[in-house]
């Protein structure tokens, strides 16, 4: 469970970073969460694109007391709680952490602000697994459980468009 811990990015796959740089429109604005792994990845794919300030609201889910613990550790110490968290995502949250619904609300707000402030612009948001899935859920009108079933790989691209007042899902988990 890696959420708000500030761990470095693995940027050893230079070819993948180059493919992302080539895939993303050159006029895209670049923004990331303030966690090092997102900032470093954004730096690696930014190229000549304009950079927006990092934003804490783009962080991964806050796992609270579960941070940096393994599934097996949590299964042993709080089996009913961890199962409810994964099987019925929504309002179940880790102790001192945030629920899926809280994460979604936080990320929805910043995406909405970016869509209004930079209407019509391409924006490259360098983020995290949960943060990306909240927007997949919203754009594809999925339940939290359906969104959790989606796969998001490191250094993949998911395209989401803002069309008026609605969000639309394009490609998901694209490996350029």
How confident is the model over 29-50, as pLDDT tens digits? 999 999 999 999 999 999 999 9
pLDDT digits (tens, 9 = 90+) for 91-100: 999 999 999 9
Sorted by where each begins, the domain ranges of the chain are 14-60+106-169, 63-97
Report which of residues 164 and 116 the model is more confident about: 116
Q: How far apart are CA 107 and CA 99, in angstroms?
A: 12
Q: How far apart are CA 9 and CA 61, in angstroms?
A: 17
What's domain 14-60+106-169's superfamily in CATH?
A: Phosphoglycerate mutase-like (3.40.50.1240)
Indicate if the pLDDT at residue 88 is higher than 90.
no
pLDDT given for residue 74 in this prediction? 93
Mean pLDDT of all residues in 78-100: 92
pLDDT given for residue 10 in this prediction? 93
Segments in 65-143 forming alpha helices (H)? 71-77, 79-87, 100-117, 129-140
pTM exceeds 0.75 for this model: yes
């Amino acid at each position: 469970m890696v959420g708000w811990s500030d761990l470095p990015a693995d940027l050893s796959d230079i070819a993948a970073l180059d493919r992302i740089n080539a895939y993303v429109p050159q006029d895209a604005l670049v923004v990331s969460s303030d966690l090092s792994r997102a900032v470093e990845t954004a730096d690696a794919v930014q190229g000549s694109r304009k950079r927006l300030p990092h934003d804490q609201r783009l962080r991964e889910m806050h796992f609270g007391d579960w941070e940096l613990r393994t599934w097996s550790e949590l299964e042993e110490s709080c089996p009913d709680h961890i199962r409810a968290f994964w099987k019925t995502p929504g309002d179940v949250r880790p102790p001192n952490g945030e629920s899926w619904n809280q994460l979604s609300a936080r990320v929805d707000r910043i995406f909405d602000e970016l869509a209004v402030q930079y209407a019509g612009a391409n924006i490259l948001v360098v983020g995290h697994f949960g943060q990306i899935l909240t927007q997949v859920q919203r754009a594809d009108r999925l339940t939290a459980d359906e969104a959790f079933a989606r796969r998001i790989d490191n250094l993949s691209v998911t395209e989401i468009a803002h069309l008026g007042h609605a969000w639309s899902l394009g490609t998901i988990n694209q490996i350029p």
